[in-house]
Structure 1
């Protein structure tokens, strides 16, 4: 009778330790966008530009947006899990942009725990043993095609 109880407690402790990991990663924004296009997650109707990245002139600003998503990281590399989380955020941005009549999200920055991070071609992700998460914010806009 003692063994099942001890085994259960050991599993709970191990799970808590695994999720306690909060590794900060910087992942390539361009690679993430390419994966989204290759896998059909992003349909190309909305373009994405990091803050500081050149883009066509904004014809109309349509408001700000922010989103954060987490994904299951079990059995995935940190980078793979982080890309999935980022693509979930970008897909949400894509849908919101379409509703607003925007064809771009510009000035995209990481915003994990409401702390802005502007990387050179990268976005921030946090990976744990069970979950990986990405938070981004940006501005919806119509830009020249």
Structure 2
């Protein structure tokens, strides 16, 4: 009985080890996409509303009355079987909704200096965002300053 139990335990360990040592098969492609295209997709404009304004990179802003805080968001979505543009636009919207929610929580009416910030590496653009598209997941990370601007 002890021998049979030991044999079963060793067999289970060997199976577990097999699964643990399989190589990862994931692509990670950096995709640069237009912000305007992402904002035109998935009904983004109506979901974001107009209570909070968004300014990317070095876009000119109205006069900043006060800076409240800075923060970042990193969002992922299922990209399996989807075109990179489709999954990236979707996850970009998720990241923007996260920025909007934070702005509303802290009383900001704008998020300025928004930059892509994947793995804490900034990429600033007024017209494009960075998305990492993999075999299974797509991800967008954004960072910005939450402020009150003049209307």
Provide the C-alpha distance between the structure 2 equivalents of 1:138 and 1:52, rounded to a whole number of angstroms: 11
TM-fit CA distance, 1:34: 3.2
1:53 aligns with 2:59: yes
Q: 4+ runs of 1 displaced by more than 4 Å?
A: 36-39
Equivalence for 1:75: 81
Give RMSD over aligned pairs: 2.0
Equivalence for 2:145: 139
1:66 aligns with 2:80: no
Query: Normalising by structure 1, what TM-score?
Result: 0.82
1:90 aligns with 2:71: no
Provide the C-alpha distance between the structure 2 equivalents of 1:79 and 1:132, rounded to a whole number of angstroms: 10
* Secondary structure of residue in 2 paired with 1:126: strand
* Secondary structure of residue in 2 paired with 1:54: coil
Equivalence for 2:108: 102
TM-fit CA distance, 1:38: 4.7
In structure 2, the CA distance between the partners of 1:44 and 1:67, relative to structure 1 (3 Å rule), is same
Equivalence for 1:28: 34
Residue by residue over 1:30-83, the C-alpha shift from the partner in whole angstroms, topping out at 9 and shown as x without a partner, is: 222333655632122111111211111111111001000000012321011111
User: Rg bigger for which structure?
Assistant: 2
Q: What runs of 5+ residues in structure 2 fail to find an aligned partner?
A: 1-17
In structure 2, the CA distance between the partners of 1:47 and 1:34, relative to structure 1 (3 Å rule), is farther
Query: Normalising by structure 2, what TM-score?
Result: 0.79
Count residues with an aligned counterpart. Answer: 131
